[in-house]
Structure formats: structure tokens, C-alpha cells
Chains A and B, each alone.
Chain A
Amino acid sequence: MSEITPDLVRHLGVLSRIQLSDDEIERLTGQLDVIVDNIAKVSQVATPDVPATSHPIPLENVYRADEVGATLTLAQALQNAPDAADGRFRVTAILGEEQ
């Protein structure tokens, strides 16, 4: 048994900004429990002496020259916006705190 609980799933829903219903939380809790039990075995072989692989084909120092390239037009930038005003994207009140 893993430690997947409905409360944890609800919290993960908040972190990932998905409004999960109670039904979804219940279903996901059961499914994730089974999945996590099966994937947790990676830690069996992941001993400290094994380095992690982030990129399958190692490369380094891939840079772009500091030269201005093509940009989007304002119309292109806004063309898929659900809502816009004054050339800007419009969103509902934030009521949080700025980062």
C-alpha cells in the first residue's frame, strides 16, 4: 500500500489547478494507489552510486546569439486569447498576492 489518500489527491488537485470532484478524487485515489505501488520499484535499483540521466543524449552549452529575431504581431499574440482588452490578456480578479 502506498500513502495515496483522498486528502493528498485533493491537495495535488490544488497544486495542479484542477478542480476535482469528490467522485474524481475517490476514483483517482484508488487508481493512483495501484499505479504508485507498481512504479515505486524504481527506488530498488536507484542506488546512490548511479548518476541520474536528465537528457538521453548528453549535450552542453547550446546557446543562441544575442540578436533580435522574428516576433509575433500583436494580432498573433492575442489571436487565441479567451478574453483581451487594450492589447492585453484579460483575466478574472486574482485576489491573491503578487509573487
Chain B
Amino acid sequence: MTDLTRLSAADLAAELSSGTVSSVEATRAHLDRIAAVDGDVHAFLHVSDHALEVAAGIDRRRSAGDALGPLAGVPLAIKDVLVTTDMPSTSGSRILEGYMSPFDATVVSRARAAGLVPLGKTNMDEFAMGSSTEHSAYGPTHNPWDLERIPGGSGGGSASAVAAFEAPLALGSDTGGSIRQPAHVTGTVGVKPTYGGVSRYGAIALASSLDQVGPVSRTVLDAGLLHDVIGGHDANDSTSLADAWPSFADAAREGARGDVLRGLRVGVIRELPDSGFQPGVSTAFRAALAAMEARGAEIVEISAPHFEYGVAAYYLILPAEASSNLAKFDSVRFGMRVNVPGGTVEDVMAATRDAGFGDEVKRRIILGTYALSAGYYDAYYGSAQKVRTLIQRDFAAAFERVDVIATPSAPTTAFKLGEKIDDPLQMYLNDVTTIPANLAGVPGISIPAGLAEEDGLPVGIQFLAPAREDARLYRVGAAVESVLVDSWGGPLLDRAPVLGGAR
């Protein structure tokens, strides 16, 4: 029998709907895989103890002839930033250890309604602050390509779970690249939707004006299938868009089959020269562009003069909003409490937040408090918001000339665990290519572009489209994916080392 964990979500869904495989079998296969490899990978913070029951329920409904969605019965990993009623939600923080939410995130309830089977909650940098998942209070996640290396962040758990075949699909959140950069370093696919395209309700807020929930998968089609389930208007999120969205799965299928690359104008940003990237990253990126060109795409150099201010603006806006969003963790209504004998409630709050937050979180809260405090607002937060406008204008000008913009998804391949942990600024520069999309609200996708020649590790290529044009990314992403996978003779992940001693 085929290993069910190696199937794409689309293929698994086909087996499920044809009845050759049950959801219980599929779910058990993934739970077994988690049991076999997650000791090494540590993608999960919590594994559901009732996934098989949920799967059995789907199987029963299927045999009863219920109309089920296309992904019914397919297992799903959920980033721990998303609150769930049946599993703890910690956002990777000690301060929320054991927290049980009385409500499900909208994306989770939509996934449940669509018959997806939640497998567990995935690891992440604490409160999604980081690019390596080393800032999780519960220990780092390891990259399945090399267990000594980072899986990216903050959604390293979701990316590794998918890359290690522990789940066919996962949910992530992307504030500055937390879906796309982990996809890059793990050889997987990740999509940051247009801001407002997917509900933020139930996503533990990092930076409200930047956060966006999105799909994590091994193929573009799988991402589109999951995006179709979770996307669309939600009255619980005021910033949710009321647009009628096309099917992203259909867009991916169209891209894989047609020749959308012919005549496609692909922008390459002049201000992101190859010298800013690890050589193997640049080479893989250029090779992917060449493959697109060979299929009729036109590569156009564009200018985005304000992108260089993106990281700076991001590291003002994010900490500022985060310092406010994280104020609720005060030991009064939920979460950890450190008692201070003889102390006031103020002392208790301060001691709890000192003990409950990790260094990176404290660093950003202090930075954000500074950026918002009297006398600095205009110079910092106010200016950073103006940079957003300038970056939006750069995008608008570029998209007059090109259909999509392409960049490497991150400057380097997966670095070693611990390598940058003491150098926050270096760590922040990881997000240089992903951040502009969050600042401007436009959608982005990262798909595998190849392996870097010097270290044999995955490299991702990122495509960006105008706001609300997520479908374009699925078309282009699927087209490029099919060209590249053909040229490799199989999915990139087939070349990842075997985990768990080939058990």
C-alpha cells in the first residue's frame, strides 16, 4: 500500500472521496508519522487525542452519503497562534501555557466545517516573533532537511510538519514572512493572502495591521484548496474584505495546465541585487526565472526605491502594535501568574510578564513602547506609516508594468540553530524580501525554486501580486511549480533526507 503521508492533499482527498482510503486510515498514518519523527523534528506542541474520532465521524458521514467538501477527511496541522476549543493555544509562549480558548478561530471553525481533521498545534516563535522558531518557549523546531538547522519562523512548526510528511496541510500566519520564509527554508509552499482575505478572528494578534493567516502545503494546488476553505468575509473581523473570491484551487489547476507563463511580465527589483543574497539562493532564483523565460515569460527590471526602508518601518510598526496587543497578558483573566508576596497587582503583573515572556518578546515590547511613547511617535511610528504609503506607491508603479514581482523568498538558506540568536538585527534582515507585502497588504506566495549548490538546502522563489489578485499567484505559482518539478524529475522534497531512520 502507498504511504498515505507522501500524498498531496489533493491526491489524498481523491482517495478519500473514491472510498479507497478512509479518513481514519489517513489520520492514523499521519499520527504514526508524527510518533516516528516528531521527536527529532519537534514540529508539534500538542497532538490531538481525538483526531481519530473526528476522522471516524467524517467516514461515517461519507458512508451515510452526506455531501462533503473537497478536503473532507484530510488531516490538518494548526499553528499554535490560532485558538482552538479542543486543544491548548499558547502562541509558543510560557505565559499562555495550558490556555484553553472558549472559541475557535474562524479559520479553524471553517476547516472543521469543511471536514478537515485537526492533528495538533504546531510550534512557532513566541507570539510569532522570529524567523527561526528558536524563540519558542517550548524549544526549537528542526528543519527536516538538516536537523541542525532552523525551519524558518515564526511558522517553523507548520512548515516542518508539512515538509516532514507529518501533515499534508497546515495553517500558518504571516506578519512579515512567517509563512513564506519557512516555506523557503523547508522546500514547501506558503501563501500570505491579501490583507483581509482571510479572517484574523482567533489568531492571537502580533501586529494587527500586518497579520494574515494563510495556507502551508507541499503543492500550490493544495494551498489553493485550503485557501478556498479558510478565506472569505468574516463579520467578526472588521478588516475582513467582503470581496467575492474566485476558487484558488481552480486557479492553481488552470496554472498547472495552461501556459500562463507565455507573455507574463515578471518584475525583478533593481534594488535587490544578487549581491545581497547567498550565492546559491541567487543562482536558484535566476534559474527559476530562466525556466519561466524559456516558457515565454518576460523578465522586466523594476524599481522599488522604498523597499530598503521596509525592514526599518516593519520593526517600528510591529513592535508598536505588539506592545499593545500583548498588554492583555497580565495574569488577571488568563495565563500565567507569578505571585509576589506583599506585592501590589502592579508588581504581580510585572513579575509575571518578566517570567512569562522570552527575551525576543520583551525586546520587541520595550522597542514598541519606546516607538509609541510621547515625543517619539511622529519620528518613529508616524514615519513608519508613511513608509507604508511609499511602499504601496512603489508596488502600484511596478504593477503598472508587470503582472507579478519575483524575489528570492529569503536571503539565505536555513542557517544553523543558534547561529543568529544573539544578533537580533541580523535576524531581522531575514525578512527583507517578505516584509514589503505585509506593509502594503499585497499577497505573496513562496514555492520551491531548487537547492542551493553550496549547501544542498532548499531555496524558495516568491511571487507578489497586486492586492486582491491572489488567484494570479496561484496560477503563476502552479505553472512555475509544474515546470520546475518536471525539470527536477519529481518534487524537491523527494530529495530531502529520510527521517526517523527510514522506519
Q: Which residues of A contact B (CB under 8 A)?
A: 4, 8-9, 12-21, 24, 28, 31-32, 34-36, 38-47, 50-57, 59, 62, 64, 72, 76-77, 79-83, 89, 91-96
Contacts and interface: CB of A to CB of B under 8 A. Distances in A.
Contact of B315 (A35, A59, A92): A35
A40 B371 CA distance: 10
B362 A18 contact: yes
Nearest to A48: B386
A57 B370 contact: no
Given A19-B354, A56-B439, 9 more contacts: A34-B425, A38-B425, A42-B312, A46-B383, A57-B467, A59-B241, A64-B235, A81-B332, A94-B345
B140 to A, nearest CB: 21
A55 B351 CA distance: 34
28 contacts: A12-B369, A12-B370, A12-B373, A18-B350, A18-B357, A20-B362, A21-B354, A34-B425, A38-B315, A39-B313, A39-B316, A42-B309, A42-B387, A45-B387, A47-B386, A50-B389, A51-B386, A52-B385, A54-B209, A55-B209, A55-B239, A56-B438, A56-B441, A57-B196, A80-B333, A91-B332, A92-B339, A93-B345
A52 B353 contact: no
A42 B366 contact: no
Interface string B118-157: 0000000000000000000000000000000000000000
Contacts of A13: 350, 366
Closest 9 CB pairs of A and B: A56-B441, A46-B383, A80-B334, A52-B385, A82-B337, A46-B386, A53-B388, A19-B350, A76-B102
B425 A92 contact: no
A52 B316 contact: no
Contacts, number: 184
A81 B333 contact: yes
A16 B389 contact: no
B359 to A, nearest CB: 8
Q: Chain A interface secondary structure, helix, strand, loop or mixed? A: loop
B362 A40 contact: no
Nearest to A63: B238
Interface of B: 99-100, 102, 194-196, 209-210, 235, 238-239, 241, 306, 309, 311-313, 315-316, 323, 327, 330-337, 339-340, 343-351, 353-354, 357, 362-363, 365-367, 369-370, 373, 379-380, 382-390, 392, 424-425, 428, 438-442, 467
Contacts of B99: 80
Contact of A92 (B195, B340, B442): B340
B308 to A, nearest CB: 9
Given A34-B425, A42-B312, A54-B209, A83 B238 contact: no
Contacts of B362: 18, 20, 24, 28
A39 to B, nearest CB: 4
Contacts of B385: 52-54
A80 B98 CA distance: 9
Contacts of B100: 79-80
A89 B440 contact: no
A26 to B, nearest CB: 13
Contacts of A91: 332, 345, 348
Contacts of A53: 385-386, 388-389, 392
B363 A28 contact: yes
Contacts of B439: 56
B307 to A, nearest CB: 11
Given A12-B369, A16-B323, A93 B344 contact: yes
A34 B427 CA distance: 13
B239 A57 contact: yes
A42 B313 contact: yes
A32 B345 contact: no
Contacts of B442: 56
A45 to B, nearest CB: 6
Contacts of A79: 100, 102
A76 B347 CA distance: 27
